[in-house]
Copies of this chain bind each other. A is one copy, B any other.
């Protein structure tokens, strides 16, 4: 093959600067001892030619690939996508490239992807999942950080959203508005997100002498269930009667949006009669809801970023252990406060 056009090699830079390739390498990597003038001349030549060192050749001597794998069990990506993007973004800063591997919830495919990443000698892997339920660890000869879905092995490095902090913020927000009769509506009862959020809400309310009204309601993660759950919570309440609750905490924005719709249908005013909160800050839901939802933004991009930081540190020989919580952010909108 003739030399590929458009690709600039270190020898081209060397020729333009009138030095040897090794000098170029030293100049660009700030190693060796060179006269400042030479260094500058080489730098300028590299700049002029738009030289970017060949990553493959680079990894040859460096014995690392400057590449990490992003393994996602969740191809649909409602949650893992922001995590992946956050991670990718943080990696770019460190001159690291991201290999995408989506396994669409299929163990065989995942195994295949893992092998492929190992074959490519990635420096590390970030594993994300579809839910916050702990997942089986992968066994690979390089550092791994689990993001969003933690590893079942508590010694592995994981970063998960701090749902307890999120729900505590919700509870304190509601209490500060004087709401004390709070109902909880979750999604699937077999998932950590439903259960943990309930537990955190109950604990936060209890800490201020309040508690959840009635049983927590579990169903599915859909607007439909949000609507139905409102009927369950309100029971046979009729317009004019005193309401059994003055706030409903939903475990997702979808649920909360369905809830708002149903409350409106039944003539219950939000937030005057009943305050409503969601979770996730999925803007397309939270903003389209009437009224817009007070919710918790889990800041998944930051979570992904943090996972990338931990992975880079591990690659650098400073591995982390255990599960780290990534802080959420309360977003107050019209469904609890009257101002919008």
User: B118 contacts A52, CB within 8 Å?
Assistant: yes
User: Measured between alpha carbons, how far is A75 from B81 in the docked complex, in Å?
Assistant: 9
Known contacts being A6-B141, A97-B116, is A54 close to B102, with CB within 8 Å?
no
A164 at interface (Cβ–Cβ under 8 A)? Answer: no
| Interfacial chain B residues near A70, Cβ < 8 Å | 100
A65 to chain B, nearest CB (A): 7
Q: Which residues of B contact A119 (CB under 8 A)?
A: 7, 52-55
Interface SS of A by simple majority: mixed
In the complex where A6-B139, A6-B141 touch, is A121 in contact with B54 (Cβ < 8 A)?
yes
A121 touches B55 (CB 8 A): yes
Contact indicator A102/B118 (Cβ below 8 Å): no
Stretch at the interface among A82-90, A231-239, A331-339: A82-90
CA A53 to CA B115, docked complex, whole Å: 10
| Cβ-based interface call for A211 (8 A) | no
**Cβ-based interface call for A15 (8 A):** no
In chain A, positions 61-97 with a C-beta closer than 8 Å to chain B are 63, 65, 67, 70, 75, 77, 81, 84-85, 88-89, 92, 97
Chain B nearest CB from A112 CB (Å) reads 8
User: Residue A254 at the B interface, CB < 8 A?
Assistant: yes
With contacts A65-B56, A100-B70 known, is A5 near B120, CB below 8 A? no
Determine if A245 is an interface residue (Cβ-Cβ < 8 Å).
no
Given the interface contacts A7-B118, A85-B77, A120-B55, does A98 sit within 8 Å of B97 by beta carbon? no
By the criterion CB–CB under 8 Å, are B53 and A56 in contact?
no
Task: Please indicate the chain B residues that have their CB under 8 angstroms from the CB of A37 in the complex.
Answer: none
Q: How far is the CB of A207 from chain B (nearest CB, A)?
A: 35
Q: Does A177 contact B (CB under 8 A)?
A: no
A118 touches B6 (CB 8 A): yes
In the complex where A97-B99, A118-B7 touch, is A222 in contact with B53 (Cβ < 8 A)? no
Pair A288/B65 contact, Cβ less than 8 Å:
no
In this assembly, does A108 line the interface, its C-beta being within 8 Å of a C-beta of chain B?
Answer: no
Does A1 reach chain B (CB closer than 8 Å)? Answer: yes
User: Residues on A close to B: CB < 8 A?
Assistant: 1, 4-7, 50, 52-56, 59-60, 63, 65, 67, 70, 75, 77, 81, 84-85, 88-89, 92, 97-102, 112-113, 115-116, 118-121, 139-141, 222-224, 254, 257-258, 284-285, 288
10 more A-B residue pairs beyond the given contacts A4-B141, A254-B284, with a C-beta to C-beta distance below 8 A: A7-B141, A53-B119, A75-B85, A77-B77, A92-B112, A97-B99, A97-B116, A98-B100, A98-B101, A222-B288
Q: What are some 18 contacts across the A-B interface (CB < 8 A)?
A: A6-B141, A54-B119, A55-B120, A55-B121, A56-B56, A56-B59, A56-B120, A67-B99, A75-B89, A77-B77, A84-B100, A85-B102, A88-B100, A92-B113, A97-B120, A98-B99, A257-B288, A284-B284
